C-alpha cells in the first residue's frame, strides 16, 4: 500500500508537483496522489472545525459547537502520579489534578445520569467533559506532555498509540519521542513566557503527541478532531519533523487560533490562519536559536528537506517563492505581493499559497522594529488576534488595518507607520495613517 501524506506543514501545491513530475518514480507519484486525496479529508476537518467556531453566537445551537476537550483522559494523570521515574513535585501535581478531575467527573455524571454505580469508566467521564457548556471543565494546575508511539498506524481511531514518555520522565532511547517532547515544551514555554498564555487554550490543556505515524509518512499535523499532534517519520523528500520546532510551533498555533480569533479556513481568512501559524512558529524557532529579526533566516521547515533536494525549506517568509526549486516537485509558487493574488478553488482558496503575502509583511515589520521579532511585531500580531475584532472571514486589508491600529495603541504612531509600510510593500494598502 502506498504511503499517504496529510497536507498540513507540507502544502498541497508541493504534493501536486510531486504527482505531476515525470522526474519521479511512479510509486512516488501515486503516493502524492493518495496524499492529496487524504489532504481533502484533513482540510475538511479543519475547515469544519473553524466554521463551527466562527458561527455567530446568536445562531449557535448546542450541536453547532464542537467539543473542546481541555483535559486528556485521566489515565495519563494516573500514570504520571504513579510513575517512579518522575520527580516528586510532578507526581504530587498530577495526583492533585487527578483527584480534582475525578471529582468533577463524578459530579457531572451524577447530574446527567451517566453514573449509577461505583464503576470507574474514564471513557464515559471523557464523554461527560465533551458536552460543551453544560458542564464546567476542570482546569489543570500545570501542563502535562505525553508522547506515544503510533506504531505505524494511519488509523486515527488507534491513536494516540503506545505510551512512551510522559511529563517528568527522563529521555528514552527513541530520538523522535525525545524531540517531540522537548520541542512541544519549547512551544509551550514560548507562549507562557512571552505572552503569558497557558498551553494552547490558556487553561493548561495537556498536549499529546504521537510519533511514527504511518509508514514512511512525510508530514506532521495537528488533528483538530482528536486534539493532538501527529508526526510521520518522512521518506524520500521530507523528514525530521519532530526536530523542527517551527513546524511544531506552526501546528500547535492552529489550536491556539481556535481559542483567540478563529479564522475561517477558506480564501484570505484561511491564508491568514496559515500566516498566523507561520508567524508564531518562526518566533518560537528564533527564540530557541536566540536570533534577532535581522539575523534570522525566516525559513519555515528548514530542517525538513533531505540533503539532495534543491531547496532550503518549505517556505520563506523573507522571500516567498524562493524556498525550493527542484525538478521532482517544481518551484515554490508562493507570491510575495497582493497584486499576484487570484481567486482559486484549490487548496480551500489558496490558504497555503497566499499566506506568503502577509508572511512577508510580518518579516518586514519585524526587521523594521529591530531586536527580537516577538518584542514588538509579535506583540502587535498577538494583541490583534486577542482583540476580538478579527472577523471570521477577515481579509488581508482588514487584518492589516487592525495590526496598524494595534501598533499605534501599543507603541505609538512611528510603530504604526512601520507596520503600515510593511503591508504597503506587499501590496496591501490602507488609507493613509494620520
β-bridge pairing 299-300 and 315-316: antiparallel
88 flagged as catalytic: no
Distance of CA 74 to the CA centre of its chain: 24
352 flagged as catalytic: yes
Total H helices, total E strands in the chain: 13, 9
How many angstroms separate the CA atoms of 238 and 378, rounded? Answer: 29
How many angstroms separate the CA atoms of 281 and 127, rounded? Answer: 32
C-alpha cell at 75: 489515565
- Positive or negative, the CA dihedral 28, 34, 38, 39 is positive
Instruction: Please give the backbone phi and psi of residue 404, each rounded to the nearest 5 degrees, phi first.
Output: -65, -45
- Per-domain residue ranges of the chain: 74-134, 267-425
Cα angle, residue 161 at apex, residues 156 and 165 outer, rounded to 5°: 135
pLDDT of residue 340: 97
Q: CATH 3.60.21.10: does it fit domain 267-425?
A: no
How many angstroms separate the CA atoms of 150 and 155, rounded? Answer: 9
pLDDT of residue 63: 37
Instruction: Write out the chain's pLDDT in tens, 434 residues.
Output: 333 333 356 666 666 776 777 777 777 677 666 666 655 555 666 667 677 776 553 333 433 443 333 233 455 567 777 877 777 877 787 776 677 556 654 554 454 444 444 444 433 333 333 333 334 455 567 889 999 999 999 888 899 999 999 998 999 999 999 999 999 999 999 999 999 999 999 999 999 999 998 887 777 888 887 889 999 887 766 778 899 999 999 999 999 999 999 999 999 999 999 999 999 999 999 999 999 999 999 999 887 887 778 899 989 999 999 998 888 778 899 999 999 999 998 888 999 999 999 999 999 999 999 999 999 999 999 999 999 999 999 999 999 999 999 999 999 999 999 999 999 999 999 765 54
* Catalytic option among 167, 179, 218, 251: 251
pLDDT of residue 110: 54
Amino acid at each position: 500500500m502506498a504511503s499517504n501524506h496529510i497536507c498540513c506543514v507540507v502544502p498541497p501545491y508541493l504534493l501536486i508537483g510531486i504527482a505531476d513530475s515525470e522526474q519521479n518514480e511512479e510509486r512516488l507519484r501515486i503516493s502524492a496522489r493518495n496524499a492529496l486525496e487524504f489532504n481533502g479529508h484533513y482540510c475538511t476537518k479543519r475547515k469544519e472545525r473553524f466554521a463551527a467556531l466562527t458561527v455567530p453566537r446568536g445562531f449557535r445551537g448546542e450541536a453547532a459547537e464542537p467539543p473542546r476537550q481541555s483535559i486528556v483522559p485521566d489515565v495519563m494523570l494516573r500514570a504520571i502520579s504513579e510513575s517512579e521515574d518522575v520527580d516528586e513535585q510532578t507526581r504530587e501535581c498530577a495526583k492533585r489534578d487527578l483527584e480534582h478531575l475525578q471529582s468533577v467527573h463524578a459530579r457531572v455524571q451524577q447530574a446527567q445520569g451517566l453514573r449509577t454505580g461505583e464503576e470507574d469508566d474514564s471513557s464515559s467521564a471523557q464523554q461527560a467533559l465533551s458536552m460543551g457548556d453544560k458542564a464546567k471543565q476542570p482546569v489543570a494546575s500545570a501542563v502535562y506532555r505525553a508522547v506515544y508511539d503510533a506504531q505505524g498506524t494511519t488509523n486515527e481511531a488507534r491513536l494516540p498509540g503506545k505510551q512512551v514518555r510522559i511529563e517528568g520522565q527522563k529521555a528514552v532511547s527513541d530520538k523522535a519521542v525525545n524531540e517531540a517532547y522537548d520541542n512541544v515544551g519549547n512551544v509551550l514555554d514560548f507562549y507562557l513566557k512571552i505572552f503569558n498564555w497557558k498551553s494552547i487554550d490558556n487553561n493548561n490543556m495537556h498536549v499529546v503527541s504521537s510519533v511514527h505515524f504511518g509508514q514512511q509518512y512525510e508530514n506532521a499535523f495537528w488533528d483538530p478532531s482528536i486534539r493532538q499532534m501527529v508526526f510521520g517519520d518522512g521518506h524520500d523528500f521530507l523528514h525530521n519533523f519532530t526536530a523542527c520546532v517551527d513546524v511544531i510551533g506552526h501546528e500547535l498555533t492552529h489550536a491556539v487560533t481556535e481559542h483567540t480569533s478563529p479564522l475561517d479556513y477558506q480564501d484570505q481568512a484561511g491564508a491568514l490562519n496559515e500566516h498566523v501559524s507561520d508567524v508564531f512558529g518562526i518566533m518560537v524557532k528564533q527564540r530557541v536559536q536566540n536570533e534577532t529579526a535581522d539575523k534570522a533566516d525566516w525559513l519555515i521547515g528548514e530542517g525538513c528537506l533531505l540533503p539532495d533536494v534543491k531547496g532550503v525549506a518549505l517556505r520563506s517568509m523573507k522571500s516567498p517563492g524562493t524556498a525550493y526549486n527542484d525538478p521532482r516537485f517544481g518551484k515554490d509558487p508562493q507570491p510575495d505581493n497582493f497584486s499576484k493574488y487570484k481567486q482559486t478553488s484549490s487548496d480551500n482558496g489558496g490558504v497555503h499559497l497566499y499566506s506568503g503575502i502577509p508572511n512577508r509583511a510580518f518579516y518586514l515589520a519585524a526587521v523594521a522594529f529591530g531586536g527580537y521579532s516577538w518584542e514588538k511585531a509579535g506583540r502587535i500580531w498577538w494583541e490583534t488576534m486577542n482583540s476580538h475584532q478579527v472577523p471570521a472571514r477577515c481579509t488581508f486589508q482588514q487584518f492589516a488595518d487592525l495590526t496598524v491600529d494595534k501598533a499605534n495603541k501599543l507603541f505609538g504612531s512611528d510603530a504604526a507607520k512601520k507596520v503600515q509600510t510593511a503591508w504597503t510593500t506587499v501590496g496591501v494598502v490602507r488609507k493613509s495613517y494620520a
